[in-house]
Structure 1
Amino acid sequence: MACFRAQQTEDTEWTTCNCAQCGVAFQVRGKEQKARAVSYGSRACHLSATARRSRTCAQCGAAFYPKSPTSSDGTLQGKFCSRTCSGLAQRTRVTRVCLQCSAEFQIKLSRAENGRGSYCSKECYTFADGTLERACQSCGKPFRARRSVLERGWGTFCSQACTARRVTCTCRVCGAEFAAKQSVADEGGGVYCSNACRHLGKQDRVSKTCPQCGVQYTVPVSLKEKRRTCSRTCWVKFMGTDPVMSAVLARARREQLTSRAPTRPERILYALIDEAVAELAPDLSWERQHLLLDRWTVDAAIPSLRLILQADGDYWHGLRPEYREDPRVRGNVANDAYQDRKLSQAGWTVLRFWESDLIRSRAACTERLRAAITGRLE
Protein backbone atom coordinates (compact mmCIF):
# COMPACT_ATOMS: atom_id res chain seq x y z
CA MET A 1 0.00 0.00 0.00
CA ALA A 2 2.86 2.34 0.76
CA CYS A 3 4.39 1.73 -2.71
CA PHE A 4 1.04 2.44 -4.37
CA ARG A 5 0.65 5.72 -2.46
CA ALA A 6 4.18 6.76 -3.42
CA GLN A 7 3.57 5.98 -7.09
CA GLN A 8 0.27 7.87 -7.05
CA THR A 9 1.91 10.89 -5.48
CA GLU A 10 4.68 10.82 -8.08
CA ASP A 11 2.19 10.65 -10.96
CA THR A 12 0.05 13.54 -9.72
CA GLU A 13 2.86 15.82 -8.57
CA TRP A 14 3.53 18.91 -10.71
CA THR A 15 6.99 19.22 -12.19
CA THR A 16 8.69 22.01 -14.11
CA CYS A 17 9.93 21.35 -17.69
CA ASN A 18 11.38 23.45 -20.48
CA CYS A 19 9.64 23.64 -23.89
CA ALA A 20 11.61 21.79 -26.57
CA GLN A 21 10.75 24.49 -29.15
CA CYS A 22 11.01 27.89 -27.41
CA GLY A 23 12.75 26.92 -24.13
CA VAL A 24 10.11 28.54 -21.87
CA ALA A 25 9.52 26.76 -18.56
CA PHE A 26 6.09 25.27 -17.89
CA GLN A 27 4.54 22.87 -15.41
CA VAL A 28 3.22 19.40 -16.17
CA ARG A 29 2.14 16.44 -14.08
CA GLY A 30 4.61 13.59 -13.55
CA LYS A 31 2.45 11.00 -15.34
CA GLU A 32 2.21 13.18 -18.46
CA GLN A 33 5.94 13.85 -18.36
CA LYS A 34 6.68 10.12 -18.44
CA ALA A 35 4.28 9.53 -21.33
CA ARG A 36 5.79 12.25 -23.57
CA ALA A 37 9.09 11.71 -25.32
CA VAL A 38 9.42 15.47 -26.11
CA SER A 39 7.46 18.15 -24.27
CA TYR A 40 6.13 21.41 -25.70
CA GLY A 41 4.76 24.29 -23.69
CA SER A 42 1.87 25.07 -26.07
CA ARG A 43 0.05 23.78 -29.14
CA ALA A 44 1.61 26.52 -31.26
CA CYS A 45 5.10 25.27 -30.33
CA HIS A 46 4.08 21.71 -31.09
CA LEU A 47 2.67 22.67 -34.52
CA SER A 48 5.73 24.76 -35.29
CA ALA A 49 8.09 21.94 -34.33
CA THR A 50 6.27 19.41 -36.52
CA ALA A 51 6.26 21.79 -39.54
CA ARG A 52 2.47 22.06 -39.67
CA ARG A 53 1.05 25.30 -41.01
CA SER A 54 -2.30 26.86 -40.43
CA ARG A 55 -4.95 27.21 -43.11
CA THR A 56 -7.97 29.40 -43.65
CA CYS A 57 -11.42 27.81 -43.71
CA ALA A 58 -13.09 28.23 -47.09
CA GLN A 59 -16.48 28.76 -45.44
CA CYS A 60 -16.01 30.90 -42.32
CA GLY A 61 -12.48 32.27 -42.88
CA ALA A 62 -11.14 31.05 -39.51
CA ALA A 63 -7.57 29.78 -39.19
CA PHE A 64 -7.21 26.05 -38.39
CA TYR A 65 -4.63 23.25 -38.54
CA PRO A 66 -5.44 20.22 -40.70
CA LYS A 67 -4.66 16.80 -39.26
CA SER A 68 -1.67 15.79 -41.39
CA PRO A 69 0.26 16.94 -44.48
CA THR A 70 -0.25 15.05 -47.72
CA SER A 71 3.28 15.57 -49.04
CA SER A 72 6.75 16.46 -47.85
CA ASP A 73 6.53 20.08 -49.08
CA GLY A 74 3.93 20.94 -46.48
CA THR A 75 0.71 20.86 -48.55
CA LEU A 76 -2.13 20.34 -46.07
CA GLN A 77 -5.40 18.51 -46.30
CA GLY A 78 -8.78 19.97 -45.45
CA LYS A 79 -10.59 23.01 -46.79
CA PHE A 80 -12.92 23.49 -43.82
CA CYS A 81 -12.26 23.85 -40.13
CA SER A 82 -15.19 21.63 -39.04
CA ARG A 83 -17.97 19.40 -40.28
CA THR A 84 -20.40 22.26 -39.79
CA CYS A 85 -18.54 24.45 -42.26
CA SER A 86 -18.22 21.53 -44.66
CA GLY A 87 -21.98 20.93 -44.59
CA LEU A 88 -22.72 24.63 -45.07
CA ALA A 89 -20.40 24.72 -48.09
CA GLN A 90 -22.19 21.75 -49.65
CA ARG A 91 -25.52 23.51 -49.25
CA THR A 92 -24.24 26.84 -50.50
CA ARG A 93 -25.21 27.69 -54.08
CA VAL A 94 -23.59 30.21 -56.40
CA THR A 95 -25.12 31.81 -59.50
CA ARG A 96 -23.55 31.12 -62.90
CA VAL A 97 -24.36 32.10 -66.47
CA CYS A 98 -24.75 29.33 -69.08
CA LEU A 99 -22.18 29.61 -71.85
CA GLN A 100 -24.66 28.31 -74.45
CA CYS A 101 -27.98 30.02 -73.78
CA SER A 102 -26.80 32.80 -71.35
CA ALA A 103 -29.42 31.76 -68.77
CA GLU A 104 -28.64 32.08 -65.04
CA PHE A 105 -28.60 28.94 -62.88
CA GLN A 106 -27.27 27.86 -59.49
CA ILE A 107 -24.75 25.14 -58.71
CA LYS A 108 -22.85 23.95 -55.66
CA LEU A 109 -19.87 25.95 -54.53
CA SER A 110 -17.62 22.90 -54.74
CA ARG A 111 -18.53 22.32 -58.42
CA ALA A 112 -17.79 25.94 -59.24
CA GLU A 113 -14.41 25.74 -57.51
CA ASN A 114 -13.53 22.62 -59.53
CA GLY A 115 -14.21 24.45 -62.79
CA ARG A 116 -17.46 22.65 -63.52
CA GLY A 117 -20.99 23.97 -64.07
CA SER A 118 -20.51 25.91 -67.31
CA TYR A 119 -23.86 24.85 -68.81
CA CYS A 120 -27.31 24.97 -67.32
CA SER A 121 -28.54 21.66 -68.80
CA LYS A 122 -27.48 18.58 -70.73
CA GLU A 123 -29.04 19.99 -73.90
CA CYS A 124 -26.85 23.09 -73.76
CA TYR A 125 -23.80 20.97 -73.07
CA THR A 126 -24.69 18.74 -76.06
CA PHE A 127 -25.09 21.68 -78.45
CA ALA A 128 -21.90 23.30 -77.21
CA ASP A 129 -19.92 20.13 -77.95
CA GLY A 130 -21.29 20.02 -81.52
CA THR A 131 -24.13 17.72 -82.49
CA LEU A 132 -25.47 15.77 -85.43
CA GLU A 133 -29.05 14.73 -86.08
CA ARG A 134 -29.65 11.00 -85.92
CA ALA A 135 -32.63 8.64 -86.09
CA CYS A 136 -33.23 6.27 -83.17
CA GLN A 137 -32.81 2.65 -84.21
CA SER A 138 -35.53 1.57 -81.79
CA CYS A 139 -38.42 4.03 -82.26
CA GLY A 140 -37.25 5.99 -85.32
CA LYS A 141 -37.56 9.33 -83.53
CA PRO A 142 -35.02 11.99 -84.63
CA PHE A 143 -32.62 13.26 -81.98
CA ARG A 144 -29.27 15.05 -81.78
CA ALA A 145 -26.12 13.35 -80.47
CA ARG A 146 -22.79 14.89 -79.54
CA ARG A 147 -19.81 14.45 -81.82
CA SER A 148 -17.67 13.03 -79.02
CA VAL A 149 -20.32 10.37 -78.39
CA LEU A 150 -20.58 9.48 -82.06
CA GLU A 151 -16.80 9.15 -82.33
CA ARG A 152 -16.95 6.39 -79.70
CA GLY A 153 -19.52 4.44 -81.74
CA TRP A 154 -22.47 5.40 -79.53
CA GLY A 155 -25.46 7.68 -80.18
CA THR A 156 -27.70 4.96 -81.59
CA PHE A 157 -30.77 5.38 -79.37
CA CYS A 158 -32.57 8.52 -78.32
CA SER A 159 -33.25 7.55 -74.69
CA GLN A 160 -32.54 4.97 -72.01
CA ALA A 161 -35.95 3.40 -72.61
CA CYS A 162 -35.11 2.76 -76.23
CA THR A 163 -31.69 1.44 -75.26
CA ALA A 164 -33.26 -1.11 -72.89
CA ARG A 165 -36.00 -2.12 -75.35
CA ARG A 166 -36.49 -5.90 -75.47
CA VAL A 167 -37.09 -8.14 -78.45
CA THR A 168 -37.98 -11.84 -78.59
CA CYS A 169 -35.18 -14.23 -79.58
CA THR A 170 -34.98 -18.01 -79.99
CA CYS A 171 -32.24 -20.04 -78.29
CA ARG A 172 -30.01 -21.78 -80.79
CA VAL A 173 -29.48 -24.80 -78.52
CA CYS A 174 -32.81 -25.58 -76.79
CA GLY A 175 -35.18 -23.59 -79.00
CA ALA A 176 -36.77 -21.69 -76.10
CA GLU A 177 -37.91 -18.09 -76.59
CA PHE A 178 -36.44 -15.36 -74.39
CA ALA A 179 -36.18 -11.55 -74.27
CA ALA A 180 -32.97 -9.69 -75.10
CA LYS A 181 -31.99 -6.07 -75.61
CA GLN A 182 -32.50 -4.66 -79.09
CA SER A 183 -28.93 -3.34 -79.11
CA VAL A 184 -27.57 -6.79 -78.19
CA ALA A 185 -29.61 -8.49 -80.90
CA ASP A 186 -28.47 -5.94 -83.52
CA GLU A 187 -24.83 -6.69 -82.69
CA GLY A 188 -25.30 -10.43 -83.23
CA GLY A 189 -26.09 -11.35 -79.63
CA GLY A 190 -29.23 -12.87 -78.16
CA VAL A 191 -28.35 -16.37 -79.35
CA TYR A 192 -28.51 -18.40 -76.11
CA CYS A 193 -31.14 -18.22 -73.38
CA SER A 194 -28.81 -19.19 -70.49
CA ASN A 195 -25.20 -19.82 -69.57
CA ALA A 196 -25.75 -23.59 -69.80
CA CYS A 197 -26.94 -23.30 -73.40
CA ARG A 198 -24.10 -20.89 -74.18
CA HIS A 199 -21.61 -23.44 -72.84
CA LEU A 200 -23.06 -26.17 -75.05
CA GLY A 201 -23.30 -23.88 -78.05
CA LYS A 202 -19.72 -22.66 -77.73
CA GLN A 203 -18.49 -26.24 -77.79
CA ASP A 204 -20.00 -26.65 -81.28
CA ARG A 205 -20.49 -30.41 -80.90
CA VAL A 206 -21.33 -32.91 -83.63
CA SER A 207 -22.94 -36.34 -83.41
CA LYS A 208 -21.04 -39.55 -84.23
CA THR A 209 -21.63 -43.30 -84.03
CA CYS A 210 -19.17 -45.47 -82.12
CA PRO A 211 -17.73 -48.11 -84.52
CA GLN A 212 -17.24 -50.55 -81.62
CA CYS A 213 -20.54 -50.52 -79.72
CA GLY A 214 -22.81 -48.52 -82.08
CA VAL A 215 -23.78 -45.91 -79.45
CA GLN A 216 -24.53 -42.33 -80.55
CA TYR A 217 -22.30 -39.72 -78.87
CA THR A 218 -21.31 -36.09 -79.39
CA VAL A 219 -17.83 -34.57 -79.64
CA PRO A 220 -16.51 -31.03 -80.29
CA VAL A 221 -15.81 -30.20 -83.91
CA SER A 222 -12.10 -29.79 -83.12
CA LEU A 223 -11.98 -33.45 -81.99
CA LYS A 224 -14.15 -34.85 -84.76
CA GLU A 225 -11.29 -36.75 -86.40
CA LYS A 226 -9.44 -37.69 -83.20
CA ARG A 227 -12.31 -39.06 -81.08
CA ARG A 228 -13.28 -42.19 -83.00
CA THR A 229 -15.05 -44.07 -80.17
CA CYS A 230 -17.45 -43.14 -77.36
CA SER A 231 -15.18 -44.26 -74.49
CA ARG A 232 -11.68 -45.45 -73.71
CA THR A 233 -12.91 -49.03 -73.28
CA CYS A 234 -14.31 -49.05 -76.81
CA TRP A 235 -11.13 -47.37 -78.05
CA VAL A 236 -8.93 -50.16 -76.66
CA LYS A 237 -11.16 -52.82 -78.23
CA PHE A 238 -11.32 -50.92 -81.51
CA MET A 239 -7.53 -50.58 -81.66
CA GLY A 240 -7.23 -54.35 -81.36
CA THR A 241 -9.73 -55.07 -84.15
CA ASP A 242 -8.82 -52.36 -86.65
CA PRO A 243 -5.95 -53.69 -88.84
CA VAL A 244 -4.76 -50.21 -89.82
CA MET A 245 -4.53 -48.98 -86.24
CA SER A 246 -2.97 -52.27 -85.09
CA ALA A 247 -0.23 -51.84 -87.69
CA VAL A 248 0.38 -48.26 -86.55
CA LEU A 249 0.67 -49.35 -82.92
CA ALA A 250 2.96 -52.24 -83.86
CA ARG A 251 5.34 -49.91 -85.70
CA ALA A 252 5.29 -47.48 -82.79
CA ARG A 253 6.14 -50.25 -80.32
CA ARG A 254 8.94 -51.48 -82.58
CA GLU A 255 10.45 -47.99 -82.81
CA GLN A 256 10.27 -47.70 -79.04
CA LEU A 257 11.95 -51.06 -78.52
CA THR A 258 14.71 -50.44 -81.06
CA SER A 259 15.53 -47.02 -79.59
CA ARG A 260 16.09 -48.33 -76.05
CA ALA A 261 19.12 -50.22 -74.78
CA PRO A 262 18.73 -54.05 -74.60
CA THR A 263 18.11 -55.64 -71.21
CA ARG A 264 20.54 -58.07 -69.57
CA PRO A 265 18.65 -61.22 -70.71
CA GLU A 266 18.50 -59.83 -74.25
CA ARG A 267 22.24 -59.13 -74.29
CA ILE A 268 22.96 -62.70 -73.19
CA LEU A 269 20.56 -64.09 -75.80
CA TYR A 270 22.16 -62.03 -78.56
CA ALA A 271 25.61 -63.28 -77.56
CA LEU A 272 24.42 -66.91 -77.64
CA ILE A 273 22.89 -66.41 -81.10
CA ASP A 274 26.13 -64.88 -82.42
CA GLU A 275 28.18 -67.83 -81.11
CA ALA A 276 25.78 -70.48 -82.44
CA VAL A 277 25.39 -68.91 -85.87
CA ALA A 278 29.14 -68.35 -86.25
CA GLU A 279 29.77 -72.02 -85.46
CA LEU A 280 26.90 -73.75 -87.29
CA ALA A 281 26.10 -71.47 -90.26
CA PRO A 282 28.30 -68.37 -90.72
CA ASP A 283 26.24 -67.20 -93.68
CA LEU A 284 22.99 -67.30 -91.70
CA SER A 285 21.50 -63.86 -90.91
CA TRP A 286 19.31 -62.96 -87.95
CA GLU A 287 17.59 -59.73 -86.78
CA ARG A 288 16.99 -58.02 -83.48
CA GLN A 289 13.55 -56.60 -82.61
CA HIS A 290 11.92 -58.14 -85.66
CA LEU A 291 8.37 -57.10 -86.59
CA LEU A 292 6.03 -60.00 -87.43
CA LEU A 293 2.55 -59.97 -88.97
CA ASP A 294 2.52 -56.15 -88.62
CA ARG A 295 1.59 -56.68 -84.99
CA TRP A 296 4.28 -58.14 -82.70
CA THR A 297 7.92 -57.24 -82.22
CA VAL A 298 9.99 -60.21 -81.04
CA ASP A 299 13.42 -60.04 -79.35
CA ALA A 300 15.23 -61.94 -82.13
CA ALA A 301 14.31 -63.87 -85.28
CA ILE A 302 16.02 -65.93 -87.98
CA PRO A 303 13.70 -65.32 -90.96
CA SER A 304 15.27 -67.97 -93.22
CA LEU A 305 14.63 -70.66 -90.59
CA ARG A 306 11.25 -69.25 -89.46
CA LEU A 307 12.64 -69.32 -85.91
CA ILE A 308 11.71 -66.81 -83.17
CA LEU A 309 13.80 -66.36 -80.01
CA GLN A 310 12.37 -64.60 -76.93
CA ALA A 311 14.05 -63.61 -73.63
CA ASP A 312 11.33 -63.48 -70.95
CA GLY A 313 11.70 -61.88 -67.53
CA ASP A 314 10.94 -64.18 -64.61
CA TYR A 315 8.47 -61.88 -62.88
CA TRP A 316 6.67 -60.10 -65.72
CA HIS A 317 6.11 -63.29 -67.71
CA GLY A 318 5.04 -65.42 -64.69
CA LEU A 319 7.77 -68.00 -64.07
CA ARG A 320 6.41 -68.85 -60.61
CA PRO A 321 2.76 -69.25 -59.62
CA GLU A 322 2.96 -66.54 -56.96
CA TYR A 323 4.05 -64.06 -59.62
CA ARG A 324 0.78 -64.65 -61.49
CA GLU A 325 -1.27 -63.21 -58.64
CA ASP A 326 -0.48 -59.80 -60.16
CA PRO A 327 -3.20 -59.03 -62.78
CA ARG A 328 -0.57 -57.40 -65.01
CA VAL A 329 1.47 -60.59 -65.02
CA ARG A 330 -1.62 -62.66 -65.81
CA GLY A 331 -2.30 -60.38 -68.76
CA ASN A 332 1.28 -60.85 -70.03
CA VAL A 333 1.00 -64.64 -69.74
CA ALA A 334 -2.27 -64.64 -71.70
CA ASN A 335 -0.73 -62.40 -74.38
CA ASP A 336 2.32 -64.68 -74.67
CA ALA A 337 0.10 -67.74 -75.17
CA TYR A 338 -2.02 -65.95 -77.76
CA GLN A 339 1.10 -64.73 -79.56
CA ASP A 340 2.66 -68.20 -79.66
CA ARG A 341 -0.55 -69.69 -81.03
CA LYS A 342 -0.91 -67.11 -83.81
CA LEU A 343 2.77 -67.27 -84.80
CA SER A 344 2.67 -71.08 -84.87
CA GLN A 345 -0.34 -70.94 -87.17
CA ALA A 346 1.69 -68.62 -89.43
CA GLY A 347 4.49 -71.22 -89.65
CA TRP A 348 6.94 -69.82 -87.10
CA THR A 349 8.64 -71.73 -84.30
CA VAL A 350 8.82 -69.81 -81.01
CA LEU A 351 11.66 -70.57 -78.58
CA ARG A 352 11.46 -68.81 -75.19
CA PHE A 353 14.29 -68.53 -72.63
CA TRP A 354 13.73 -67.53 -69.01
CA GLU A 355 15.85 -64.77 -67.51
CA SER A 356 17.18 -66.99 -64.72
CA ASP A 357 18.18 -69.72 -67.21
CA LEU A 358 20.09 -67.25 -69.39
CA ILE A 359 22.00 -65.95 -66.36
CA ARG A 360 22.65 -69.17 -64.38
CA SER A 361 22.35 -71.96 -66.97
CA ARG A 362 24.00 -70.49 -70.02
CA ALA A 363 25.37 -73.84 -71.24
CA ALA A 364 21.90 -75.42 -71.25
CA CYS A 365 20.49 -72.46 -73.16
CA THR A 366 23.32 -72.77 -75.69
CA GLU A 367 22.59 -76.46 -76.29
CA ARG A 368 18.89 -75.74 -76.67
CA LEU A 369 19.58 -72.99 -79.19
CA ARG A 370 22.07 -75.14 -81.16
CA ALA A 371 19.55 -77.98 -81.34
CA ALA A 372 16.82 -75.67 -82.64
CA ILE A 373 19.08 -74.18 -85.34
CA THR A 374 20.48 -77.59 -86.35
CA GLY A 375 17.00 -79.06 -86.57
CA ARG A 376 15.80 -76.26 -88.81
CA LEU A 377 18.92 -76.42 -91.03
CA GLU A 378 18.39 -80.12 -91.72
Structure 2
Amino acid sequence: MGSSSGSDWDPPPGSWASSAARRRNMQAIRSRDTAPERLIRRLVHAQGLRYRVAARPLPDLRRTADMVFRPSKVAVFIDGCYWHGCPEHYVPPKTNPSYWSGKVTRNMARDLDTDQRLRAAGWTVLRFWEHESPDDCALTIAATVSRLRNDGG
Protein backbone atom coordinates (compact mmCIF):
# COMPACT_ATOMS: atom_id res chain seq x y z
CA MET A 1 0.00 0.00 0.00
CA GLY A 2 2.08 2.95 1.30
CA SER A 3 5.81 3.26 1.02
CA SER A 4 8.25 2.22 3.69
CA SER A 5 8.84 5.89 4.64
CA GLY A 6 5.24 6.23 5.82
CA SER A 7 4.23 8.58 3.03
CA ASP A 8 2.09 7.82 0.00
CA TRP A 9 4.66 9.46 -2.27
CA ASP A 10 8.38 9.06 -2.41
CA PRO A 11 10.45 11.36 -4.62
CA PRO A 12 12.35 9.74 -7.45
CA PRO A 13 16.01 9.06 -6.65
CA GLY A 14 18.02 12.27 -6.96
CA SER A 15 14.89 14.40 -7.14
CA TRP A 16 14.94 17.97 -5.85
CA ALA A 17 11.34 17.60 -4.66
CA SER A 18 10.95 16.69 -1.00
CA SER A 19 7.23 15.91 -1.39
CA ALA A 20 4.56 15.65 -4.06
CA ALA A 21 3.16 19.02 -2.97
CA ARG A 22 6.60 20.65 -3.17
CA ARG A 23 7.15 19.14 -6.61
CA ARG A 24 3.81 20.53 -7.87
CA ASN A 25 4.66 23.94 -6.40
CA MET A 26 8.11 24.07 -8.01
CA GLN A 27 6.78 22.91 -11.39
CA ALA A 28 4.20 25.71 -11.34
CA ILE A 29 6.83 28.46 -11.09
CA ARG A 30 7.08 30.29 -14.37
CA SER A 31 10.42 30.96 -16.00
CA ARG A 32 8.94 33.50 -18.40
CA ASP A 33 5.81 35.62 -18.76
CA THR A 34 5.69 36.35 -15.05
CA ALA A 35 3.29 39.04 -13.82
CA PRO A 36 6.07 41.66 -13.42
CA GLU A 37 7.39 40.88 -16.94
CA ARG A 38 3.95 41.13 -18.53
CA LEU A 39 3.19 44.43 -16.79
CA ILE A 40 6.51 46.02 -17.76
CA ARG A 41 6.14 44.78 -21.35
CA ARG A 42 2.65 46.27 -21.56
CA LEU A 43 3.91 49.64 -20.29
CA VAL A 44 6.87 49.65 -22.70
CA HIS A 45 4.61 48.62 -25.60
CA ALA A 46 2.21 51.48 -24.74
CA GLN A 47 5.13 53.87 -25.28
CA GLY A 48 5.38 52.66 -28.87
CA LEU A 49 8.44 50.44 -28.47
CA ARG A 50 8.64 47.00 -30.04
CA TYR A 51 10.85 44.16 -28.85
CA ARG A 52 11.40 40.41 -28.85
CA VAL A 53 10.23 38.41 -25.85
CA ALA A 54 12.36 35.66 -24.27
CA ALA A 55 14.93 35.93 -27.05
CA ARG A 56 18.65 35.30 -27.27
CA PRO A 57 20.49 38.58 -27.70
CA LEU A 58 23.51 36.65 -29.01
CA PRO A 59 22.65 33.64 -31.18
CA ASP A 60 25.61 31.61 -29.92
CA LEU A 61 24.84 32.25 -26.23
CA ARG A 62 22.24 29.86 -24.83
CA ARG A 63 20.68 32.49 -22.58
CA THR A 64 17.57 34.53 -23.15
CA ALA A 65 16.67 38.03 -22.05
CA ASP A 66 13.11 38.89 -21.06
CA MET A 67 13.00 41.71 -23.63
CA VAL A 68 15.41 42.26 -26.52
CA PHE A 69 15.66 45.45 -28.56
CA ARG A 70 17.92 44.31 -31.41
CA PRO A 71 18.45 47.56 -33.34
CA SER A 72 19.60 49.44 -30.24
CA LYS A 73 21.26 46.35 -28.69
CA VAL A 74 19.44 46.51 -25.35
CA ALA A 75 18.77 43.35 -23.32
CA VAL A 76 16.32 43.59 -20.41
CA PHE A 77 16.08 41.12 -17.53
CA ILE A 78 13.36 41.14 -14.86
CA ASP A 79 14.88 39.04 -12.09
CA GLY A 80 12.89 37.22 -9.46
CA CYS A 81 14.01 38.08 -5.93
CA TYR A 82 14.33 34.46 -4.79
CA TRP A 83 15.89 32.88 -7.88
CA HIS A 84 18.45 35.64 -8.47
CA GLY A 85 19.40 36.42 -4.85
CA CYS A 86 17.92 39.89 -4.30
CA PRO A 87 19.94 41.62 -1.56
CA GLU A 88 16.72 43.04 -0.08
CA HIS A 89 14.34 40.09 -0.26
CA TYR A 90 16.23 36.82 -0.64
CA VAL A 91 15.55 34.47 2.25
CA PRO A 92 17.61 31.27 2.37
CA PRO A 93 15.44 28.18 2.13
CA LYS A 94 14.67 26.05 5.15
CA THR A 95 14.16 22.89 3.12
CA ASN A 96 17.17 21.39 1.35
CA PRO A 97 19.21 24.59 1.85
CA SER A 98 22.45 23.32 0.34
CA TYR A 99 20.75 22.51 -2.97
CA TRP A 100 18.61 25.65 -3.27
CA SER A 101 21.24 28.12 -1.99
CA GLY A 102 23.73 26.57 -4.40
CA LYS A 103 21.25 26.98 -7.25
CA VAL A 104 20.71 30.66 -6.44
CA THR A 105 24.49 31.19 -6.20
CA ARG A 106 24.94 29.57 -9.63
CA ASN A 107 22.13 31.76 -11.04
CA MET A 108 23.86 34.89 -9.73
CA ALA A 109 27.19 33.81 -11.26
CA ARG A 110 25.46 33.07 -14.59
CA ASP A 111 23.78 36.51 -14.50
CA LEU A 112 27.17 38.21 -14.06
CA ASP A 113 28.68 36.13 -16.85
CA THR A 114 25.74 36.95 -19.14
CA ASP A 115 26.10 40.68 -18.41
CA GLN A 116 29.84 40.57 -19.15
CA ARG A 117 29.39 38.67 -22.42
CA LEU A 118 26.64 40.97 -23.65
CA ARG A 119 28.57 44.13 -22.76
CA ALA A 120 31.67 42.76 -24.49
CA ALA A 121 29.52 42.31 -27.61
CA GLY A 122 28.35 45.94 -27.44
CA TRP A 123 24.99 45.42 -25.72
CA THR A 124 23.45 47.53 -22.98
CA VAL A 125 22.14 45.33 -20.18
CA LEU A 126 19.27 46.48 -17.97
CA ARG A 127 18.39 44.38 -14.93
CA PHE A 128 15.44 45.02 -12.67
CA TRP A 129 14.14 43.19 -9.61
CA GLU A 130 10.58 41.92 -9.68
CA HIS A 131 9.74 44.22 -6.72
CA GLU A 132 10.77 47.42 -8.49
CA SER A 133 8.12 49.85 -9.73
CA PRO A 134 6.96 48.67 -13.17
CA ASP A 135 6.41 52.30 -14.19
CA ASP A 136 9.99 53.22 -13.26
CA CYS A 137 11.35 50.14 -15.07
CA ALA A 138 9.37 50.94 -18.22
CA LEU A 139 10.52 54.57 -18.18
CA THR A 140 14.17 53.52 -17.79
CA ILE A 141 13.85 50.99 -20.63
CA ALA A 142 12.15 53.50 -22.94
CA ALA A 143 14.67 56.24 -22.16
CA THR A 144 17.63 53.91 -22.73
CA VAL A 145 16.31 52.51 -26.01
CA SER A 146 15.39 56.01 -27.26
CA ARG A 147 18.79 57.43 -26.34
CA LEU A 148 20.64 54.61 -28.08
CA ARG A 149 18.47 54.90 -31.19
CA ASN A 150 19.08 58.65 -31.33
CA ASP A 151 22.82 58.14 -30.81
CA GLY A 152 22.85 55.63 -33.62
CA GLY A 153 23.33 52.55 -31.39
Distance between the aligned counterparts of 1:356 and 1:339, measured in 2?
Answer: 22
> Which residue type is aligned with residue 105 of structure 2?
R
1:285 is displaced (CA, Å) by 3.6
For normalisation by structure 1, the TM-score amounts to 0.27
In 2, are the aligned partners of 1:324 and 1:330 still within 8 Å (CA)? Answer: no
- 1:339 pairs with 2:114: yes
Answering whether residue 149 of structure 2 is matched by residue 374 of structure 1, we say no
Among all aligned residue pairs of Structure 1 and Structure 2, give the percentage whose two residues are the same amino acid.
34
In the TM superposition, what are the counterparts of 1:89-100 in structure 2 within 5 Å?
none
Q: Is the 8 A contact 2:74 2:124 kept in 1?
A: yes
- Structure 2 partner of 1:348: 123
Give the one of 59, 62, 65 matched to 1:293. 59
1:159-308 equivalences under 5 Å are 262-276=33-47, 278=48, 285-291=50-56, 292-294=58-60, 295-308=62-75
Instruction: Please state if 1:362 is matched with 2:134.
Output: yes
Encode CA deviations 1:142-171: one digit per residue, 9 max, x unaligned.
Answer: xxxxxxxxxxxxxxxxxxxxxxxxxxxxxx
SS of 2:76's equivalent in the other structure is: strand
Is the CA contact (8 Å cut-off) linking 2:128 and 2:137 kept in structure 1? yes
Q: Could you say which structure has the greater relative contact order, defined with CA pairs below 8 angstroms and 6 or more residues apart?
A: 2
Count residues with an aligned counterpart: 110
Q: Counterpart of 1:268 in structure 2: which amino acid? A: L
Contact 2:82–2:89 (8 Å) recurs in 1: no
- DSSP-derived class of the 1:288 partner: strand
Please give the root-mean-square deviation of Cα atoms over the aligned residues, in Å: 2.2
Q: 5+ residue gaps in structure 1? A: 1-259, 279-283
C-alpha change, 1:363 and 1:298, in structure 2 (3 Å) is closer
Residues in 2 aligned to 1:363 and 1:273: alpha-carbon distance in whole angstroms: 9
3-state DSSP of counterpart to 2:71: helix
User: In the TM superposition, what is the alpha-carbon distance from 1:269 to its structure 2 partner?
Assistant: 2.2
Structure 2, gaps ≥5 residues long: 1-30, 93-100
CA drift at 1:333: 0.6
Instruction: Could you list the structure 1 runs, at least 4 aligned residues long, displaced by more than 4 angstroms after superposition.
Output: none
Q: Does 1:318 align with 2:85?
A: yes
Structure 1 residue 368: Cα displacement: 1.3
Contact 2:36 2:134 survives alignment (8 Å): no
Aligned to 1:221: none
Shift of 1:267: 0.7
Residue type of the alignment partner of 1:317: H
Mapped contact 2:32–2:66 kept (Cα < 8 A): no
Q: Deviation of residue 263 (structure 1)? A: 1.3
1:308 offset after TM fit, Å?
A: 0.6
Report deviation, 1:261. Answer: 6.5
- Per-residue CA shift, 1:171-222, capped at 9, x if unaligned? xxxxxxxxxxxxxxxxxxxxxxxxxxxxxxxxxxxxxxxxxxxxxxxxxxxx
Q: Name the structure where strand makes up a greater proportion of residues.
A: 1
Distance 1:335 1:301, change over 3 A: same
Assess, with a 3 A threshold, how the Cα gap between structure 1 residues 368 and 302 changes in structure 2: closer, same or farther: same
SS in 2 for 1:356: coil
Once the two structures are superposed, the pairs formed by residues 52-201 of structure 1 within 5 Å of their partners are: none
Partner Cα separation in structure 1 for residue 78 and residue 32 of structure 2: 14
The answer to whether the Cα contact below 8 Å between 1:323 and 1:329 also exists between their aligned partners in 2 is: no
> 1:320 is aligned with what amino acid?
P
